[in-house]
Amino acid sequence: MLKIDKQRRYIQLFFLAVSVALFGLLIAGVLPIAHAYCPNAAVCFGCLNLGQSIGNWIFPAAIIGGLALLLHTLFNGRKFCGYACPFGTIQELIFSLNKRSGKRQCKNAMPHSVHNYLKWLKYVVLLATAFLAWQGLGYIYMKFCPVMSLAHIQNIRIAGLLSLGVITIAGFFIERFWCNYLCPYAALMNIAQWIGKILHLPRQKVWWSKDCCVDCMLCDDYCPMRIKVQKSEKVTDADCIYCHRCELCCPVLTKQKRELQGKKK
């Protein structure tokens, strides 16, 4: 389990380094608009506008890449969020700055009753983004888009500052605030998983054995996506990002791991 966590950290840091390099080139004006590299480009600009960018292969490639990632999500869930998304990694880093982030009570900062309502906000954002793109008004969302705000920070406006401020401050107290409640691409990936479920496509899931459960509820409390992990042996919730935090915090699995390592020695 610890090996899985270390591997995830290395992968996260790799993609974060690549993203920082891209942001640096965007800020310097060497590369074009940030959404040319964003998997959510198909939603923000709308596929109907693809014909306007035929001369520039980068933007169509971003759309194709975003659709390919959705295809990957059908079978592997939201691993992109847990491993490759730079905003996911940045959110984890921001939350780790909170001295109480490792404590159980801090994990419960957002009550489940409130979370269950707020998690639908990302679908509202997705619908609003798609509607604005369809109407040729995608620039309205882009004013608030955190990707655009960071990539073109030298020209940031009040809307961008407000968006980044909310995500940063809320993310300090609530783990993965953007992923849970506002990210339109996260909503799109969830919809892809629901379609896969309707089509009975097999999807990889995190699973555990109820035989080893001691009802400590740590798996529920430490899940960054606030999923009720304990209620079933397989995590079927579309919001799962495959961070394996539920396994890493489990006292029984940790004890079994230590015993196994002791026997090997």
**For 103, which DSSP code?**
S
Q: Domain residues for 47?
A: 2-17+32-205
Taking the C-alpha atoms of residue 95 and residue 91, their distance in angstroms, rounded to an integer, is: 6
**CB 184 within 8 Å of CB 129:** yes
In a domain, 220, yes or no: no
Facing residues of 234 across strands?
207
Q: If 0-12 CB within 10 Å is exposed, 13-18 middle and 19+ buried, where does residue 172 land?
A: middle
Residues 6+ apart with CB under 8 A from 123: 187
Residue 137 has pLDDT above 50, yes or no: yes
The pLDDT assigned to 131 comes to 86
Alpha helix (H) ranges present in the chain? 2-27, 41-44, 58-76, 79, 86-96, 104-107, 112-118, 121-134, 138-144, 146-151, 158-173, 177-181, 184-198, 218-222, 245-248, 251-264
Backbone φ and ψ of 152, nearest 5°: -125, 50
The pLDDT assigned to 45 comes to 63
In a domain, 107, yes or no: yes
In a domain, 26, yes or no: no
In a domain, 85, yes or no: yes
pLDDT interval class at 222 (50, 70, 90): confident
In a domain, 103, yes or no: yes
**For 56, which DSSP code?**
-
Residue 51 has pLDDT above 50, yes or no: no
Taking the C-alpha atoms of residue 30 and residue 22, their distance in angstroms, rounded to an integer, is: 9
In a domain, 238, yes or no: no
The pLDDT assigned to 70 comes to 92
Number of structural domains the chain divides into = 1
In a domain, 240, yes or no: no
Residue 3 has pLDDT above 80, yes or no: no
Over range 31-58, report the average pLDDT: 62
pTM attached to this predicted model: 0.86
**CB 162 within 8 Å of CB 144:** yes
In a domain, 25, yes or no: no
Beta-carbon neighbour count of residue 139 at 10 Å? 13
Token pair for 197:
């479920």
